[in-house]
Structure 1
Amino acid sequence: MAEPQRRPPLEAPRPAGGADDLRERGFAHYEAERLAAVLASDAAGLARLQEVCASLPPDPHAPGTHRFRRYSHAVYLPWRDELSWIPGTPDPVHGTVTEFSHGADDPRHRRGRRALPEVPAALRDDALLPRLLRWDVEQAVRVRPDLGRRPLWVGVHLIKLAVEDRDQVAVSTPDCLHQDGGSTGTFTFAHLISRTNVSGGHNVIATPDSAGLRPDDPAAHVHTGFTLTEPLEGYAVHDHRVSHYVAPVRAGTGPGPGERSVLIVGLAPYVPQL
């Protein structure tokens, strides 16, 4: 009788990271040191990004989840290295909002469209954020060279999970393994901005057929798991080839509140409508 196949542990050895991992495995982990070198150690820019994340407004569509967020989108022309932010819509509560379309594979918001407070113009025009976006595009184009000849849709999400005490729990959405639409041209990048006095926030990468399951479900096939701990540390997924998940966040053992802030960047071909 054949020996049953063992699932890898959630805290598996981290991949080395880089375009080869993203190309060969459909996901990659990027150490903070690599991003710091690429971005010329822009400590001032990182501090400005952390300041914006510290004051993110509550998610207007998920009260009581201890989730805070902003969102904007842009179009990037690779052959001209041109990033153009799409203007938001005036809003009486948030000033300006941007419409966010949930992926078809989000079980909580199938094909839902919601308006979210947009990323501040000062941050969009700052040096660090555009450099991060261009670096992400470069990684995706190395895997899919054809993306370098097409306009790209860029979705930029700032998300903070924050808790005041150990009785609270902050949950990302969806709270299961998922994909961000399942397109062959879609890539998602995540960069940690800050992590203070929290436990949890563990990331898991699994097979695409595990979408909709919890990572500890016996039917889930997990590739690896890791916890982002250093600013700018991150990961990337080639959406149709894997599913991914981040665990809820609780307050850590230190005094005071806890928070985990990330920058999520979604890249996809800009699809002609005519």
Structure 2
Amino acid sequence: MSRLKENGFEYYTLDELKEKTYYKQDLEALTSVFDGLPQDEYAPHLNRYRRYARAVIMPGSHRVEWLPKTVINDKAYYEYFQGSFNPEYTDEYRRFPALPEEMMHNQLLEDIIRFDFQQTFWMKEDALMPVHAGIHFVKLCVHDDGEVAVSSPNNLHQDGEPFTFAHLIRRHNVKGAMNAISVPDHRGRMPVDLHPDELTASFYLENPLESYGVYDPLVTHYVGTVEKGGKNGPGERSAILIDFQPTVVSDSEKTSSMKGLTDQMIFV
């Protein structure tokens, strides 16, 4: 049994992707997108920048199919639904600027998505259907001493999607950005308020493609605020977040908790 299935959390390095011939070129292309990320219009005071895209993973082949964008005033967006899981936003939907079109053809990004998907497990009914993937490019960036960049929600939380994976792309001149994992009972709390024994894990992502995944029913997770380090230039933590959820919810999932079904789930 994988650590993700057993404990709800697993750490990854993605070393196998770093050996691909396209790795360096495609990573540079991914990294360059973060240079021009637009400010998160839902939190312009929190020094957060982001783009988003939606795709489906086809059963069997694991082919990534990108979903259509919404175009408003000649600008492309994707709708993001999180229901009631983020208390900082009362609307169930938010709308984020779409990833650039060239990212839909970036082999490294597609392979990251497929790697993550291969770690997931599903009811066999769900595994017969396409699985929805949400791809977030998120940058926490501060330019001046005393500024703080804040993730959302700013506490131990669950996302509502069964699986979420985080992949560091760039960390530069940063203080903070600690990752913490705990149990669902501590949802809404801050890691600093817990005894160290109450944390499943606490760590920092330092290098490109250093990653982790969480199985939402079993854990809460958190990334700390970002402050500027002691070097010249801005402080930045940029990461790709990828979440997965079924496109069709099975009857058994409607009547049972996901946690109680883990032994019946299969890897895809």
Moved more, 186-195 or 41-50: 41-50
Q: Which residue of 2 aligns with 1:89?
A: 70
Distance, in Å, in 1 between the alignment partners of 2:99 and 2:205 is 23
Distance, in Å, in 2 between the alignment partners of 1:121 and 1:132 is 17
Distance, in Å, in 2 between the alignment partners of 1:103 and 1:49 is 29
TM-score (norm 1): 0.85
Deviations 1:209-241 (A, max 9, x none): 111111122489311101000000010000110
Q: Which residue of 2 aligns with 1:117?
A: 97
Deviations 1:153-187 (A, max 9, x none): 10000000000022210000000000011x6xx10
Gaps of 5+ in 2: 251-268
Distance, in Å, in 2 between the alignment partners of 1:24 and 1:210 is 19
Tell me how far 1:81 sits from its aligned partner: 2.6
Q: Which residue of 1 aligns with 2:45?
A: 64
Q: Which residue of 1 aligns with 2:15?
A: 33
Change (3 A) 1:35 1:223: farther
Distance, in Å, in 1 between the alignment partners of 2:16 and 2:84 is 33
* Matched residue count: 248
Tell me how far 1:148 sits from its aligned partner: 3.6
Q: Which residue of 2 aligns with 1:55?
A: 36
Distance, in Å, in 1 between the alignment partners of 2:77 and 2:210 is 28
Q: Which residue of 2 aligns with 1:254?
A: 231
Distance, in Å, in 2 between the alignment partners of 1:35 and 1:164 is 32
Change (3 A) 1:111 1:152: farther
Is the Cα–Cα contact under 8 Å of residues 157 and 221 in structure 2 kept in the other structure? yes
Distance, in Å, in 1 between the alignment partners of 2:120 and 2:3 is 11
Tell me how far 1:34 sits from its aligned partner: 5.0
Is the Cα–Cα contact under 8 Å of residues 35 and 233 in structure 1 kept in the other structure? no
Tell me how far 1:70 sits from its aligned partner: 0.4
Q: Identity, % of aligned pairs?
A: 37
Q: Which residue of 1 aligns with 2:79?
A: 99
Which of 211, 218, 238 aligns to 1:241? It is: 218
Say if 2:111 is the partner of 1:135: no
Trace 1:1-274 onto structure 2 (pairs within 5 A).
Answer: 20-31=2-13, 33=15, 35-37=17-19, 39=20, 42-92=23-73, 95-110=75-90, 112-141=92-121, 144=122, 146=124, 147-181=126-160, 186-218=162-194, 221-271=198-248
Tell me how far 1:84 sits from its aligned partner: 1.3
Distance, in Å, in 1 between the alignment partners of 2:129 and 2:113 is 16
Change (3 A) 1:210 1:34: farther
Tell me how far 1:149 sits from its aligned partner: 2.5
TM-score (norm 2): 0.86
Is the Cα–Cα contact under 8 Å of residues 165 and 257 in structure 1 kept in the other structure? yes
Moved more, 209-218 or 145-154: 145-154
Is the Cα–Cα contact under 8 Å of residues 103 and 180 in structure 1 kept in the other structure? no
Structure whose residues are more often helix by fraction: 2
Distance, in Å, in 1 between the alignment partners of 2:232 and 2:199 is 34
Counterpart of 1:105, as a letter, is F
Deviations 1:34-80 (A, max 9, x none): 5524x557011000000001110000111111100001101111213
Name the SS of the counterpart of 1:176 in structure 2. coil
Distance, in Å, in 2 between the alignment partners of 1:241 and 1:54 is 35
Moved more, 73-82 or 249-258: 73-82
Tell me how far 1:197 sits from its aligned partner: 0.7
